[in-house]
Amino acid sequence: MCSSLGGQTRNPYDLTQTPGGSSGGTGAGLAANYAMLGVGTDTVNSIRSPASANSIVGIRPTVGLVSRAGIIPYSSVQDAAGPMARTVTDAAKMLNVLAGYDTDDAATAWSAGHYY
């Protein structure tokens, strides 16, 4: 993770280690207590890798459980957005808020009525 404004994102626990995939900035920010919750986007491992690297919780939902509206897809059959948080409880509660049918993402029609 690198930006022309702020430089490379670092793992707050060990500045020599990676913060993990493309959602590493979100993971590092949560680990550094800049926020309580975050949303990561994932094609292969971009929620789970930052969660592991930054000692936080990341949930990579099944495609169709959470809307991908507004996300520029790398792979329409793999991309997903999911919650990232410091606790399992917070991540689960956020997933309940994110999950559901969205008319802007046809894949979410499969999840209607199939989640709690």
Mean pLDDT of 85-94: 98
**Cα gap 57→23, rounded to integer Å:** 12
- The predicted model scores a pTM of 0.89
Q: Identify the DSSP state of 54.
A: T
Q: Residue 62, class by beta-carbon neighbours within 10 Å (0-12 exposed, 13-18 middle, 19+ buried)? A: middle
User: Per DSSP, what are the bridge partners of residue 99?
Assistant: 66
pLDDT tens by residue, 4-20: 577 789 999 999 999 99
Domain boundaries, the chain: 10-104
